[in-house]
Every structure is written in C-alpha cells, then in structure tokens.
Amino acid sequence: MEKRIFIIDDEAHLREWLKRNLKKDYQVETFSSAISALDAIRKTAPDIVLLDIGLPQMNGIEALTEIRKISQNIPVIMITAQQDINTVISAMKKGAYDYLIKPFDINRVRLSVQNALESVSLRKEVRKVHEKYLQENMPCFIGESNTIKDVMDFIGMVARSPDTPILILGETGTGKELIASAVHFNSPNAKGPFIPLNCAAIPKDLLESDLFGYEKGAFSGPAPKGKKD
C-alpha cells in the first residue's frame, strides 16, 4: 500500500511541484492552509506531513503543535526559508522530524521522506518485539483452583487502573512480588520498567532519603557515603 503524504504550503507552484515529483511513489494530497489540513488529518491521518512554517492564519509551528495533539507518531518535515532558521530550531524541539530550506533539491526531499518513513517503520518493529518479549516473559501463576482463578481475575481488573494504589499482604514466599509484577505487566504501564524494592532491608530512618533524596544539611555530622553535594 502506498504511503500517504500531506503537503501544506500556501505557495501553489511549490505544492504542485512537490506533488508532481512525489506522486509516482506516494499518494499525495496538498493543502494551502493548516486549518484545512488539520481537518483532514483528524479524519484520516497521513503517513507523513510536509509543513511550511510561514503559513497565513495558523503558522507551521502552531500547526505542528496541533498535529502532535492528534498523533505523536506522524513524522513532520518542516519547510522554511533561510531567515526562519531560529524558528526551525523551535520546531525541532516541538517534535519535527526534519526540515527543508527553500529552495531545495527534490532528491533532498525524497531522502528526507524516505528516512522519516523508515524511522517510523523501525519504531513499530521495535515496539512489536518489545510487546512480544513482554508476552513471552509475563509473570504467571500455574494453577486451576477457584482461588487462583479469582486472584488472576482480580489482577486483570486492578491492572486496568494503573494509578490505583494496591497493598499486597502475605507471608514470605507466598508470591507477593509475583502478583505485583503480574499487575504491572497487565497494565498500560507494561512498557516501562518494573522495579521491586525491599523496604525491609533499608533502615526506616533512611528509607525516605534513599527513595527521594535529601537537601544539604538534612543530616548532622559527616554526609553519608556515596552522597555528594
């Protein structure tokens, strides 16, 4: 399936020149304003956007901000004049993938578009590999009793609300950490790290400072080892 490119520029001759040179390899749609392009993006997101910075009504930086609200995954290549280089830096900080300075060579455009699409494809592959790893290494319980089934059902329920605090009680060796990791890996936070912490091994007077740090002068006498100002 051909990739879809949205070209947003108020210069008609530039829009048509880009479309003529890219339509052999991509589905190309052109827009003279950011407002009309944003309406189209909300309906059907393209694979990549070429976005002029110097647009009327809503400029390219403002449009980039709106595109990022719609999707974080659409690569956006900014189009700019030489005098807009400081604005380009701002656009890159806001998540633009690349920028093209007018006048530009069509080979430079093709290379930037190709690299952006390959980058998106690579991120998707990495995400698939990560998700497969999580599925294959997800903590699980072996058992068929009603009690175990109730525990797994409860884990699935609480995992859907990752911000809900959970207290897990039990004797040593009963699987408290296993349950905690199962909750984590079944939650939307599964792509992040699971970090177990043995609080019982940390003196209660140092627990807060070890977890959250401390300000200079919080301790009397010599500073604890390993801590620097």
Q: Tens of pLDDT along 36-61?
A: 999 999 999 999 999 999 898 999 99
Q: Domains in the chain and their CATH numbers?
A: 4-131 (3.40.50.2300), 146-212 (3.40.50.300)
Predicted pLDDT at 163: 77
Tens digit of each residue's pLDDT (9 = 90 or more) over 153-188: 888 788 887 777 888 888 887 788 888 888 887 787
Give the span between the Cα atoms of 41 and 73, in whole angstroms: 12
Instruction: Name the residue with higher pLDDT: 130 or 112.
Output: 112
Predicted pLDDT at 229: 47
pTM of the complete model: 0.61
Give the span between the Cα atoms of 61 and 51, in whole angstroms: 9
Q: Which of 225, 202, 228 is nearest to 216 (CA)?
A: 228
Output the DSSP codes for 10-59: S-HHHHHHHHHHHTTTSEEEEESSHHHHHHHHHHS--SEEEEESS-SSS-
